[in-house]
Structures are given as C-alpha cells and as structure tokens.
Amino acid sequence: MSDAFNPDEMILRFRERAEAVKRRGLPPIEGAERQMFLEAAKLDFQDFAMLGDASATLDDGILRLEIDLRPPSSN
C-alpha cells in the first residue's frame, strides 16, 4: 500500500461503488428478505453516492469531507 493517501482517489472509489450498487442484480429471494435487500441497496447507493459527491481535503493529517445537501436551487 502506498504511503501517500489521495482523497480524490477515495472519492472516485465511492462513485464506482454507487454505480456498482445500481448495476447489482437481485438475488433469487422472496418476501420480507427481498424487501430488506432492496432497502439495503437503496441505502448503500445513497451513502456511496453522497460520499462520491463530496469535496475532500487533507490538511495536516485531517481528512475533511464536505457534502452540500442543500436543494440544487439553494447552491
């Protein structure tokens, strides 16, 4: 593993994970388990997409992620 941490590369990995969740197939499950899987996928996508949209800075060993959650008209 490289000694140099690149926050932009981390952000890119989260974008890729969000896309992977969208492409992920549904396993052969039914009933309550199916609904639980769908809900987990929805939350996974939301979390990965939010982190994928973050602006990252690394200052003096402190990683800061900034995510603007305001509606688009407020930015």
Q: Where are the domains of the chain?
A: 7-74
Question: pTM of this prediction?
Answer: 0.78
Output the pLDDT for position 1.
43
Closest among 17, 3, 16, 13 to 56, alpha carbons compared: 13
pLDDT in tens, the chain (75 residues): 446 889 999 999 999 999 999 999 988 999 999 999 999 999 999 999 999 999 999 999 899 999 999 988 866
